[in-house]
Amino acid sequence: MAVSVSDIIKQQRQFFATGKTKDVNFRLEQLNQLKSAIVSNQSRIVDAVKADLNRPEYEAYFEIASIAEVNYAIKNLKSWVKPRKVPISIEQFPASARIYPEPLGVVLIIGPWNYPFQLMISPLVGAIAAGNCAILKPSEIAFHTSEVVADMISKTFDPAYITAVEGGVEISQQLLTEKFDRIFFTGGTKIGQIVMEAAAKHLTPVTLELGGKSPCIVDSDIQLEYTAKRIAWGKFINAGQTCIAPDYLLVDKKIKPDLLTAIKQSIHEFYGDDPQNSPDYARIINQRHLGRLAEFIKDGEIVTGGKTNPEDRYIAPTVIDKVSWDAPVMQDEIFGPILPVLEYDDFTEAIAQINARPKPLALYLFSKDKEKHKRVLRETSSGGVCINDTVMQVGLTSLPFGGVGDSGIGSYHGKASFDTFSHEKSVLQKSFLLDLKWRYAPYKGKLDLIKKIIG
């Protein structure tokens, strides 16, 4: 690198100190420039994602979905930045109280390889909208997309304002030794722990978008065809390399045979007799991940799939039945096209099994029973819940997206992105019109009054 990480941060702190980023019109201008850059680079983005993940063109356009985030921020920014008046209590009279959102300063955004453009750019929208400077670190594993991101950012923004830094683990380590005003990380739980540990040395706040084993409960009272299609689609887009993909099925045993038949039919409908030759099926990111996933296929009984081709980075859409809770495939997030199936007799048992494990990023329930909807919402904890569908919740800009416990810290999307990259400054403004003496010494005769105020 011609310029050191420390020098980049120094330049950005100097830029932030000018106050330019606090101007709402400046922020809107930068958001519009970002939008124009995404639009003009669409074909490059699609090609890069194809090269990294063999993502079909249709799925590659999911990466361009960050335009929706930009549009939402442009539409709402002027209302987001306004100070919010809040009530005051009687002892403060006469006064007013407001909350002022202000930018944090210089932030670091570390992106993942599975959706290497969208999950890099979407948090950037929040950082710009909130008035920050930003350093982006795209994933070197998806290196074609990393190059596109870095090139697009360099041609769109002053590097003293926003820049992208490419490189491997050594660059990430250099970045994490520096002090930022927030670190936003998307990736696996183990790396998230490393990021949080590094941030703690500087008391830097973190947003961690992680993952986990997102369960999919299937009740007996469902619309079978729609359920099977929605599960198969959510599991096997991007060859299962989606942080909110259904990680495993927990199925009422009365419906399990019919559901497995319907899922198998859906996979065939989506990808044909041989998914390896389908233009609509992606590939595993690299050989290391493929080797890890191939071990999981040894667990349980294969319902469909099971074929692998390391040279093509291919693992067929695979469903595995008769899996135990102690099997290796059930210990960590799968992050690939393998769907284990477990069964339950009683709905209470299903909820208990989920609650015995770390809180997931997403929880899915397929059921027509509204009482079971209420029970899942009331009796489980997860980053988010989607009822009678999978994955689609992530596309709703008005819903905050994030994890809880092991699946993450903090959230973003829409207004939540603005809030993530802002500090809410509390301001109390008093008047000189009156100065009530209840709080001043001597306190004799005032005890009953203070008890009333406090109580």
Q: SS in 3 state form for 334-391?
A: CCCCEEEEEEECCHHHHHHHHHCCCCCCEEEEECCCHHHHHHHHHHCCCCEEEECCCC
Please give the structure tokens belonging to residue 397: 């800009």
Q: Which of 350, 141, 314 is nearest to 240 (CA)?
A: 314
Task: Tell me which of 133, 216, 243, 386 is the catalytic residue.
Answer: 243
Beta-ladder partners of 338: 318
The verdict on whether 209 is a catalytic residue reads yes
Amino acid of residue 13: R
Q: Quick check: 180 and 106 in contact, CB under 8 A?
A: yes
- Cβ atoms of 182 and 421 within 8 Å: the answer is yes
As a dihedral over the C-alpha atoms of residue 197, residue 198, residue 203, residue 204, rounded to 10 degrees, the angle is -110
Catalytic residue among 209, 216, 333, 343: 209
Nearest alpha-carbon partner for 216 in 352, 74, 389, 375: 389
Q: Residue 174: how many CB atoms within 10 A of its CB?
A: 16
> What are the Cα distances from residue 285, in Å, to 75, 113, 139, 144, 145?
36, 8, 12, 12, 12
Q: Which residues belong to the active site?
A: 209, 243
